[in-house]
Amino acid sequence: MKILVLNGPNLNLLGLREPELYGSRSYTELTNYVNQTAAELGLEVEQRQSNHEGVLVDWIQSALGTADAIVINPAAYTHTSVAILDALKAVALPAVEVHLTEPDERESFRRVSYAGLACEKRFAGQGFLSYRLALEYLREKNLECGMRNSE
């Protein structure tokens, strides 16, 4: 199972700013954590980060035919981007929304998630663990599908 893991704007600054909110580990540490988790779970992952909405849309589109599922932390675009919502709907792959913090417990403008409308699950407020939970969820779901298909 191949999973495209996308991270949105400013997540490349992890560990460099606002550690009280986002933790002290870097973006490279996040990608290492996700790679290690994927290896443990027997999943293939491709990870990308962009500060640009259109680039994220292009990558979501590129998942069609090249990935089985998407894990996405759209960062600030979570709360603004109909383009990312439309792209996720268009590719219609299983998608999971992840967040390091719990947006619902922060400013009221973070309570809306457009991307979440196209995602079947959300893991938030658990730091790096949110990404692991997303991968575990997709793996479990894939195993269940495989079992059903072999019946």
Q: Quick check: is 33 catalytic? A: no
User: 50 near 68, Cβ under 8 Å?
Assistant: no
Sequence letter at residue 148: R
Q: How far is the CB of 81 from ligand CA2 (least distance, A)?
A: 11
Q: How far is the CB of 19 from ligand CA2 (least distance, A)?
A: 8
Q: Quick check: is 22 catalytic? A: yes
Q: Which is nearer to ligand CA2, 22 or 59 (CB)?
A: 22
Q: How far is the CB of 125 from ligand CA2 (least distance, A)?
A: 8
Residue 107 to residue 105: CA distance in whole angstroms:
7
Residue 79 to residue 140: CA distance in whole angstroms:
28
The binding site for ligand CA2 (CB under 6 A) comprises 10-11, 13-14, 17-18, 22, 73, 75-76, 78, 99-101, 103, 110
Of 33, 79, 99, 137, which one is the catalytic site residue? 99
Burial of 54 (0-12, 13-18, 19+ CB in 10 A): exposed
Q: Which is nearer to ligand CA2, 18 or 44 (CB)?
A: 18
Of 22, 77, 114, 131, which one is the catalytic site residue? 22
Q: Which is nearer to ligand CA2, 1 or 100 (CB)?
A: 100
Residue 145 to residue 151: CA distance in whole angstroms:
10
Largest CA distance in the chain: 51
Which residues are identified as catalytic? 22, 99
